[in-house]
Structure 1
Amino acid sequence: MNPFKSSPFIKSSLALACCGILYTTPVLADGAVKGRITDSSQSVYFGGAKITVKELNLKTVSGRDGTFSFNNLPAGDYTLMVDYIGASSVEKKIKIVDENVFTQQIIIGEQEDAIDNIIVYGQSAGQAGAINRQKNASNLKSVVSADSIGQLPDQNAAEALQRLPGVFIARDQGEGRFVGIRGIDPNLNNVTVNGLNVPSPEAGVRSVAMDVIPSELIQSLEVSKTVTPDMDASAIGGSIEVKSLSAFDKSGQSYSFTAQGSYNELESDTSPKLSASFTDVYELNNGLDLGVATAISWFKRDFGSRNVETDGGWSEFKVEDDATGEDIKIFGAEEIEQRQYQITRERLGAALNFDLHSGVANRYYLRTLYSDFSDDEYRQRKEFKFSDGQVNTHDNNSASFSDAEMDRDTKDRYEEQSILSLVAGGEHQLNNWFVEYSVGYSKSDEKEPDRLDVSFAGEGLDLGYIAQSEIPSLSQSSNANDMSNFVLDKVEANDNLSEDEAMTFKVDFSRDFVWNNNNGEFKFGAKYQSREKRNDVNVWIYKDDLQGALASDFAASAPDYDLGEFGPGLNRSAIRQFVNNNRGAFELNENDSQVESDGASYTSNEDIVAAYAMVTLDIDKLQIVAGLRYEGTQFDTEGNQVALLTDDVNDTEVVTSTPWEATKDYDHFLPSLNMRYEHSDKLVSRFAYTNTIARPSFKDSAAFQLIESESSEDDGVISVERKAEVGNPDLDPYESMNLDASIEYYPGSIGVLSAGLFYKDIDNYIVQQEVQDNGQWNGYQEVVQMVNGGSASLTGLELNWSKTFDSGFLISANGTFINADDDLPNQADKIGNFIVGYENNVISTRLSASYKSESFQFEDADMNVYEDSHTQLDFSGKYFINDSVNVYFNAKNLTDEPLYLYHGERKYNYQYESYGRTYELGFTINSL
C-alpha cells in the first residue's frame, strides 16, 4: 500500500482508532511528582536530563527550564534517579500519597567540587546540555545551545547550524544564508521559530534565509533528522527549530551586554555591533509567576566582494571570421563579466517573551520575534561581449575579437527583509490529560524600492580571453577604458514587494497509560495553517531618448578590484541624480515594462489541515514511537498569461496580458516509526521509518506564462517562431520514504561518538524541462517549465565525534558521505566539520573548519553547472577577566576562500567571487 495515497476507508479507520484508544486507556491513580533539576547554587537549570522512577521503569526528560513531572502515580515509596552527562547519577527517595502532588528539587553535582567548572560555569555547559537533550530525545536530532553559539564567530542562525553533523549552508556574499540537511536542497526543509512555521521573505521560495535571525536572540537550535507524527511532514531533509530565550531558563534575574567592532580587509572598513538581553521572574498574587525575557541585537557591516563570471557559460555560438568575413561556429564564452560589489548590511533583531506559570499545572506564554535585515548594494560591472565581434583567433581555451562590444553598467539597490513571529499558547494538566494549544501569526516581506539599473554600451573594441582554472584572463584595447566611448543605452527602474503571511492554529492532547506493565503515552492533535504568498513586481524600462549621456559624464576613480583590469568606475549618486532629473524625458518602453511586471507578479494561497495520532511505548530498554499523520493541502494561484507579439512583416509589437487562475488540492497519509534502544547508560541505538513531503516552491507553481511570438518573412514566406516560459500550478509535491539507523556512544565525560546510516527514496522530483512536445504547445519551438521529473534516491553515512577532556582540550569532528543515483540540485556528496580548542577558567579558544564538496546546481547550454568544493577556516578566542566579563577576538575565512562555480569542466568559469577575511574584537558582560 502506498502510504501517501488517502482513501475514505483509511480516514475512517484513523478516526475509529483514535476513539478506541481514548475509551480503552485505563484510569490511573491521582498521585504526582513535580520537580526541577538544578545546581548547588540553584542558579542554573538543566534541560535534557533523564529522570526515572526506578520501581515503575517510568522515564521522562527535563524541559529547557529543568522541570519534570510524573502524573498518575500509585501511592507508595519510590526512587527517583537522575542521569545527566557530565555529572554523576543522583537518587532521591520520594513518597506518593493519593491525590497529592509531591515536589522535589534535585541538585546534581553537589558532592563534586569539579562539577561547577565543568557544568555550571564552564564553557562546556552549553555542549553538555545539547548532548543530553539529543541523547534522550525520542527521535534523531542534533542540538546547538546558546552557550555553544557564543564559542564560535557565527553571526546568525545559519552559521551556527553549519557546525552540526550533516548540516551545510549556502552563502550569500560570503555570509551563511540558507541551511541544507544531509546534502538536501534547503527548499526541502522545514523551519519553525518557537514552534511556528516561518514564511520566507524572498519571492518565489519556501526556504527561509536564516541570516535574518541574529544568533544573540537564540536560546537553542534543534535539527530533527527524523520526524514524529506530531511534527510537520514538510521535512525531506529535516526540520529546524529555533527557540528564543525564556526567563525560566535561568533562576532569578539575568542580563548580558556585548559590544563589537569588525574589520573587513577587502574593503578596509570597520563595522559596529551591539547586543543585550535581560530576563527576570516576578512573583505575582495567587501563586502566579511571570517571566519576562527580552533581547535586542544590532549589527551594521560594511564589506564587499570581487567577481568574475561567464554569462550563459561556455557553448557553441556563431561569429564572423575576421579573415574571411564568413559566419563560423566556435566553442567558447559569449560574455564574460567583471563585477565589483560594495555593500552595507544592517541587521536589527528583537525578542520579547512572556511566560505565566500558575502552580505546577498551568502555563501560558507569548513569544515574539522581529528581525529586520537590509542590504544597501552598489554593483559595477563590465560585460565583455565576444559574440558581437569578429573572431581573429580561437580554440577551446582562448579567443580574440576585433570590433567587439562591451557594456559598463551599475546596479543601485536597497533591499530590506523583515520577519515578524507572534505565537501565544498554553499548557495544562487536566486530571489524566495534558493539553497544549497555540495560535500564531507570522509575516515576512522583502522590499526593493527605487532600484536602478543603468547600462552604457561601447562598440569597436578589441577584446580577448584565455580560460584558466578559475579566473579567465581578459584583454582589452586601450579605448575600452575611455569612458567617452560608452553611451547610455538602457535605464531600468524597479519597485518590488514580496510578502508571505500565515496564520496557524494548533492543539495537542496526551495522556499516560500502562499496557502489560509497560508505560506509554497516547497523543493526538490537529493543526491548521492559512498562508498567502504575494509577489508584486513593477518595472519601468527606458531604451530611447536617453539624452545622449556618456559614461564619461559620471566617471569616477577606479574601484578596488584585484581579479583583472577594471578601469574607471561610475559615480553612484551622479547617475541617480541624472535619472531622477531626466526620467520624464526618457521614452518608456511600455511593452517590455508590462511583460516584466505582469509576468513576474502573482498571488498564491495555501491552506493546510493536519491531524495525527501516535503512541509512545517503553518496553524495558526499548522505546517505540509510532503513529500516522494526515496533511491535506488546498492551493490556488493567480497570475497572468503575458504574450509579446512581434510582427516584423508589418513592423508592429503588441503585448496582451490575461489573468490566469489555477487550483490544486492533494492530501497525504504519512505513517512513521521511531525506535530507541538504550543498551546501557552510555550506548543508544535508533531506527526510524518515516514518510515526508516537500511542497513545490511558490515560483515553480505560480500561475504565469511568458510567451514570445515573432512573425517574419523570407522570400515571400511568412514564418512564426514561438517560445514560452510557464509556471506549473499542477505540480505534485516531493514525496520521500526515509530509513534511518544509528548508534551513539556517550562516555562518562562530556562527549559523543556516533554513526548513522540513512536512505531516502524521493518521488516527484521537480526539474526544469522543455515541454513543447507534450501535446499542449503545438507550434511552439521552445517551452520551458518545471515538471515532476521522476524519482531519485540517496544513501548516506553520518559520523560524529566530540569530546571535552579533563585537561581542557576539546575536539569535535563530523562527516556526512552521500551516494546519490543522479545529480540533485544543491546536493553535496560530502559534508564535514572539524573543531579543536582549549579552555579553562581564563581562556577559551576554537579553531574550526567547515567543508562542503562540489554540488550540482543547474543545467545551462546543455552542460551541468557545479559549485566547487568549499572549505572555510575560522578562529575564535576569549579571555575571561572575571566571572562576568570577557573579551574576545574572532577571525573569519582565514584562507580567503572564494565561491567558485564552473560549467562542465573545472577550467570553464561560471562564477568566481572572493570576500576577504574579517576580524572581530569585542567584549561581553554577563550576570553571574
Structure 2
Amino acid sequence: MKTSFNTLTRACLMALGLSLCPLVHAEAAAAAGAAGAAGIIGQLTNAEHNRVYAGARITLVELNLSTESQRDGSFRFTNVPAGSYTLHVSYLGAAPVTQKIAIDSTGIVRPTVMLNPVATAMADIVVRGQRSGQASAINQQRVSDRISSIVSADAIGQFPDQNAAESLQRLPGLSIERDQGEGRFVGIRGIDPNLNNVTINGLNIPSPEAGVRSVALDVIPSELIQSLEVAKSITPDMDADAIGGAVTVKSVSAFDRQQKTTASATVQGGYNTLREAYNPKLAGSLTHQFSQTLGIAAALSYFDRDFGSDNIESNGADEVEQRHYTITRERLGAAINIDWRPDFNNQYYLRTLYSKFSDDEYRQAVIYTLEGEDSQIERQSKDRYESQSIATIAAGAEHQLQQWLVSYQIGYASATEDEPDALYYVFNSENSSVDGELDHPIPIVSFDADATDISQYETDEISFEDNYAKDTDTSFKFDLSRDITLGNYPGQIKLGGKYRSREKRRDSQMFIYDGGFDALSPPDLAITEPDYGLGNFGPGLNRERMRDFFNQNRADLSLAALDSALESNGATYVNKEDISAAYFMLTADIEKLHLVAGLRYEDTDFSTAGNRVELVDDEQNDVQEVINSPWTAERRYDHLLPSINARYDVNEQLLLRAAYTQTISRPRFEDVAAFQIIESKTAQDEGVVVTEREAEVGNPDLQPYEADNLDLSIEYYPGDIGVMSAGLFYKKIDNFVVYADVAATAQWAGFEEVTQAINGETASLRGLELAWVKAFDNGFLISANTTFTDSDATTFVDGEQYDTRLPNQSDRIGNLTLGYENTALSVRLTASYKSDNLEEIDGDMLRIEDDHTQLDFMGKYFVTPATLVYFNIINITDEPFYHYFDQPNVNAQYEEYGRTFQLGLTWQL
C-alpha cells in the first residue's frame, strides 16, 4: 500500500506539472477581474413548479460561456464580472428561453428559469409520461462530453423492467445476459459484461459472485434509480477498465425533485405460467427537503418471485441431461441519501445502498449416458439456498474555492455470496435400453420402463457444501478543476487521483460421501413426476425427505476424505488488487468545436494466494493421498492511457462526434487465481502401467485486456423530442481471454486434459450503431435501434489455430419500441433481439449461444392524477434460451421459462 500511494503521489505531481503552463495565463486573467467577480447559480423548472430539467444547454451570451443543467435542474457560472447579461436556455421539447440578469460586484444571482413544453396541450404527458423520460435522456445525451446513452428515472417506469439491467437493454448497442429468464448482466456493443465498469454514485461496485468481475445489475431495483448512463467512450477522469464501456448508476436525491416532499408506493402481483406461481412486490420512495440546504431521499423495494425452468442439455456426443428447476427468489433493496448544501460554494452528500438477493433452488436432473450395452442413467438432486448482498456507503463533498472547484469522495463497498448447507444426491442405474438422438434442439431419448422405476437405482453419492465469497472495495478519489481561457476561447483544466484497494475471497468446504447408504431406500424418496415439458422425466425426488435423511444419518455415512479435501482446498483462494490512478484533462471550446483530451495513469499491484491440490490414486503402490501445497503469485503492471473526445456543433440540431481512447480490462478473479486441482491415477492396463492426469488450473500470469478504441458518430436533433444517430466504432483488443485445453503445452506434458484461461493472440471489433427516437404530438412514440458488429480473434489451443469471434460477442443487437399515450393512458410494446455468440471452445467444438428475441408489453392507466394501475406481460412469445455445438441442430442447452404477467398499483404524491 505504501508503494501504491507513492506511485499515486508521483503521478499526481506529474499531472500537476503538466497544468502549470495553462495556469499561468489563467491566473493572469483571473487577477485582472477577481475584484469584481461574482457568480450565477440558477435552476430550470416549469410554470407549475412540478419538475426540473437536466441536460439543458445554458449560454451566457455576452461572455460566450456555456454550461449544462445538472440532474436537479441547477446550473452555475463562477467568477463572472459585474454587469448585465443574457441567459439563453435550449432544451429539446421546450421553447428556447432568453432571460436578462444583472450582477453587482459582490453578489450571487440566483435566477429561476421557466421552461414549458412546445405543445402545451401535451403538458400533462410531458410531466409524467413517456415524452418526459425521452426528453430528459435525449437532452443529457446531446450535451455530454462523451459518446453515451442515458435512461432517466422518468423513462424507467415506462417499461416492464424490474431492475437496472432490464432497463439498460432498451438502449442502442446494449444487450443483457439472462439467468432463469431474468436480465442480470449488461453487454455493450456485443462485448462480454466482464469488460465493463459499473459504478453506483461514483463508487465501484464489487461482485458478490465468486470469481467474476461483472456486476449483476438485477440487484438494483428500479425504484432506487434516478438515472442510468452508459458511456461508450470514456474521458480521463473515468476508470480505465472499460473496454466495453462504463455504466453509471445514480440513485435518487431530494434535490432531484422540485417539490419539497414527494412519495410513491407500489403494490404488484405477478403470475408465472410455467410453474403456475404468484409473485408479490412492494416498493416505495420518499424525498423531503427540510430546507433549501438539507434534503433526504429514501427508497425501499421487496420482490418475492416463485418460478422455475425446464432444461435439457447435452455434451454434443453421448450424454443428455434433463433438468427441472423450482426457484424462490427474493430481493430486498434499500437506499438512504442525504444532501447538505449550506451555501453556494459548498455541498456535502452521503449515499448508501443495500441490496439482498436470495435464491432458494431445488433442481432435479436425469442424466443419460449413451454407450450401447454400457449405457447408464443418473438421477440427481440439488437442494441449495444462496444469498447475495451488496452494501455501499459513499461520502463526499464539493467546494468552490475561488478559482478552483474541489471535489472528493471516500467509499466502501462490500459484496458477499453465502451458500450454506447445500445438499446434493446422486442415484445411478445401468440400463442398456437407453438410446438417443442429440442432433435436435430438443434431444430425443428413448428407454424402457426400468428407466423410470426408482427401485432400479442405487445411491451413488451424497455431497454437502458450504461456500462463501466476499468482495470488498475501499476507495478514495479527488478532483480539482478550474475554468481557464485559451487565447480567446473558454476552457477548463481538471486533474485528480484515485486509490482503490480490493480483496476477493472464496472459501469452500465440501464433504463427499460415497458409502454407508444401507438405511436409504430410493423408492422411499420417490414422488410424482414433476411437470416437465421437454420429455419423459420419470418420478421426482422428495426434497424434505432427502434433507431429513442426511441430517439424521450423516454420522453413519462414509466420507470420501481425499475427494473432499481436493475439492475444498482447490476452490479456496484470496485475490488482492491495489489500483492507483492519476489523470490530467483539458477541455476547450473553440468556436463550434468542444474538445476533451488528456492522459490517465493506472498502476495495478496484484497478488493471489491459493493451493496446488493433487489427488494421487496409485493402485500399483497402493497409495491414495491428497498433496496440498500453498501457492502464491504476484504481479505488477501499469498503463499510461491517452484519450480525446471531440464534439462539433454544426448547429443546434446537428452534432458530429469523434473519440479515440485507450482502455483496459483486468482478468476475471477466478481465471487469474492461484489454484490447481489435479487428479492423477496410476493403474495397470494389459500389463502396462499407465498414469492418467487431468487438471483444472488458474493462471496468475494472465495479462489484462488492452484496447485501442475509435468512435465516429453523427446525431441529429430535429428540435422536438427526438433524435436520429449513426455511429461507427472500431476496437483493437490484445490479450483477450479464452478457456482452453492446454495439455499439449510444455508446462503440462503428460496430462490428458488441462483446462485453463489463456490469453488469445489478438482481436478486433468493428461495428455500426443506428438509432431513431421520435415522440409525435399526437401521442405516438417510436424508438428503434440496431447495432451491427463483426470481430476477428485468433487463438492457439493444443498447437492448433482457431480463428473465431470474440467470446460472448453478438453480431447484431436490436430494440424496437412502439408506444402511445394520452393524458390518462400509456402503452408500450417492446422487442429486444440479440444474435448468436461464441461462448467458449469446448474440446474440439465451439459452443454457441443462439439468437434470442423477447417481446414484452407494458400498459398503464391514470385513475387519478396521483394513482395509476399497470399491466405487464414479459416474454409474450415464451422465447426459450438455446445453446448449440458447431451447428444449430446439435444441442448444448435448451431452456424454457414461460410467460410472466404483472398487475400493479402505484400511488404518487
TM-score range, shorter chain: over 0.9
2:341 is matched with 357
Q: What amino acid sits opposite 1:541 in the alignment?
A: I
Q: Give 1:415-494 correspondences, 5 Å limit.
A: 415-494=386-465
Q: Distance in 2 between matches of 1:531 and 1:190?
A: 14
Q: Distance in 2 between matches of 1:419 and 1:23?
A: 46
Q: Distance in 1 between matches of 2:745 and 2:249?
A: 44
Distance 1:485 1:83, change over 3 A: same
2:864 is matched with 882
**Structure 2 residue corresponding to 1:291, chosen from 288, 295, 305:** 295
Q: Distance in 1 between matches of 2:583 and 2:515?
A: 61
Q: What amino acid sits opposite 2:252 in the alignment?
A: L
Q: What secondary structure sits across from 1:559 in the alignment? A: coil
1:265 is matched with 273
Task: Count how many residue pairs are aligned between Structure 1 and Structure 2.
Answer: 885
* Native 8 Å contact 2:566 2:614 kept in 1: yes
1:18 aligns with 2:28: no
Distance 1:714 1:259, change over 3 A: closer
* Native 8 Å contact 2:740 2:842 kept in 1: no
Q: Please provide the CA RMSD for this pair.
A: 1.7
Q: CA deviation at 1:719?
A: 3.7
Q: Distance in 1 between matches of 2:325 and 2:685?
A: 46
1:57 is matched with 64
* Native 8 Å contact 1:362 1:429 kept in 2: yes
2:842 is matched with 860
Q: CA deviation at 1:837?
A: 1.0
- Alignment TM-score, normalising by the size of structure 1: 0.93
Q: Distance in 1 between matches of 2:302 and 2:906?
A: 15
Q: CA deviation at 1:768?
A: 2.5
Q: CA deviation at 1:289?
A: 1.6
Q: Distance in 2 between matches of 1:292 and 1:8?
A: 36
1:923 aligns with 2:905: yes
Q: What amino acid sits opposite 2:708 in the alignment?
A: M
Q: Give 1:602-641 correspondences, 5 Å limit.
A: 602-641=573-612
**Structure 2 residue corresponding to 1:851, chosen from 826, 830, 833:** 833
1:749 is matched with 720
2:3 is matched with none
Q: Distance in 2 between matches of 1:469 and 1:460?
A: 23
Q: CA deviation at 1:468?
A: 4.9
* Native 8 Å contact 1:450 1:493 kept in 2: yes
Q: Distance in 2 between matches of 1:335 and 1:778?
A: 29
Q: What secondary structure sits across from 2:130 in the alignment? A: coil
Q: CA deviation at 1:785?
A: 2.2
1:121-165, Cα deviation, whole Å (9 max, x unpaired): 443211111110011101111111122111111011111100000
1:873-909, Cα deviation, whole Å (9 max, x unpaired): 0001011111110001000100000000001111111
1:451-508, Cα deviation, whole Å (9 max, x unpaired): 0010111123411112353101111101111111111110011100010001010100
Q: CA deviation at 1:369?
A: 0.5
2:664 is matched with 693
Q: What secondary structure sits across from 1:124 in the alignment? A: helix
1:678 aligns with 2:649: yes
1:367 is matched with 351
Distance 1:701 1:414, change over 3 A: same
Q: What amino acid sits opposite 2:230 in the alignment?
A: V
Q: What secondary structure sits across from 1:881 in the alignment? A: strand
1:560 aligns with 2:531: yes
**Structure 1 residue corresponding to 2:366, chosen from 374, 382, 385:** 382
2:74 is matched with 67
Unaligned runs of 5+ in 2: 1-6, 794-804
Q: CA deviation at 1:213?
A: 1.1
1:351-407, Cα deviation, whole Å (9 max, x unpaired): 0010001121111000001000011010111111113x42xxxxxxxxxxxx52111
Q: CA deviation at 1:208?
A: 0.4
Q: CA deviation at 1:10?
A: 9.5
Q: CA deviation at 1:55?
A: 1.7
1:339 aligns with 2:347: no
Q: Distance in 2 between matches of 1:274 and 1:908?
A: 43
Q: CA deviation at 1:118?
A: 4.7
Unaligned runs of 5+ in 1: 1-5, 315-332, 391-402
Q: What amino acid sits opposite 1:18 in the alignment?
A: S
2:796 is matched with none
Q: Give 1:721-760 correspondences, 5 Å limit.
A: 721-760=692-731
* Native 8 Å contact 2:8 2:580 kept in 1: no
Q: Distance in 1 between matches of 2:895 and 2:525?
A: 26
Distance 1:688 1:111, change over 3 A: closer
Q: What amino acid sits opposite 2:542 in the alignment?
A: N
1:328-351, Cα deviation, whole Å (9 max, x unpaired): xxxxx3210111100001000000
1:224 aligns with 2:231: yes
Q: What amino acid sits opposite 1:893 in the alignment?
A: N
1:309 is matched with 313
Q: Distance in 1 between matches of 2:529 and 2:688?
A: 52
Q: What secondary structure sits across from 2:552 in the alignment? A: helix
Q: CA deviation at 1:8?
A: 13
1:548-585, Cα deviation, whole Å (9 max, x unpaired): 52321101111001111111111000110011111110
Q: Give 1:576-587 correspondences, 5 Å limit.
A: 576-587=547-558
**Structure 2 residue corresponding to 1:826, chosen from 773, 786, 808:** 808
1:710-735, Cα deviation, whole Å (9 max, x unpaired): 22235655343333222111211000
1:848-876, Cα deviation, whole Å (9 max, x unpaired): 00000001101113010101100000001
* Native 8 Å contact 1:277 1:296 kept in 2: yes
Q: Tell me which moved more, 492-501 or 95-104.
A: 95-104
Q: Distance in 2 between matches of 1:466 and 1:367?
A: 56
2:691 is matched with 720
Q: Give 1:154-233 correspondences, 5 Å limit.
A: 154-233=161-240
1:704 is matched with 675
1:504 aligns with 2:511: no
Distance 1:209 1:732, change over 3 A: same
Q: CA deviation at 1:791?
A: 1.0
Q: Distance in 1 between matches of 2:385 and 2:9?
A: 52
* Native 8 Å contact 1:177 1:211 kept in 2: yes
* Native 8 Å contact 2:15 2:582 kept in 1: no
1:413 aligns with 2:422: no
- Alignment TM-score, normalising by the size of structure 2: 0.95
Matched-pair identity in %: 53
Q: Tell me which moved more, 690-699 or 745-754.
A: 745-754
* Native 8 Å contact 1:55 1:79 kept in 2: yes
Q: CA deviation at 1:413?
A: 0.8
Q: What amino acid sits opposite 1:175 in the alignment?
A: E
* Native 8 Å contact 1:485 1:550 kept in 2: no
Q: Distance in 2 between matches of 1:11 and 1:112?
A: 51
Q: Distance in 2 between matches of 1:359 and 1:8?
A: 32
Q: What secondary structure sits across from 1:922 in the alignment? A: strand
Q: What secondary structure sits across from 1:462 in the alignment? A: coil
Distance 1:783 1:306, change over 3 A: closer
* Native 8 Å contact 2:366 2:379 kept in 1: yes
Q: Tell me which moved more, 721-730 or 627-636.
A: 721-730
**Structure 2 residue corresponding to 1:873, chosen from 838, 842, 855:** 855
Q: Distance in 2 between matches of 1:917 and 1:785?
A: 38
Q: What amino acid sits opposite 2:142 in the alignment?
A: K
Q: Give 1:778-857 correspondences, 5 Å limit.
A: 778-822=749-793, 823-857=805-839
1:658 aligns with 2:658: no
Q: What secondary structure sits across from 1:88 in the alignment? A: coil
1:320 is matched with none
Q: What amino acid sits opposite 1:828 in the alignment?
A: S
1:147 is matched with 154
Q: Distance in 2 between matches of 1:921 and 1:761?
A: 46
* Native 8 Å contact 2:8 2:581 kept in 1: no
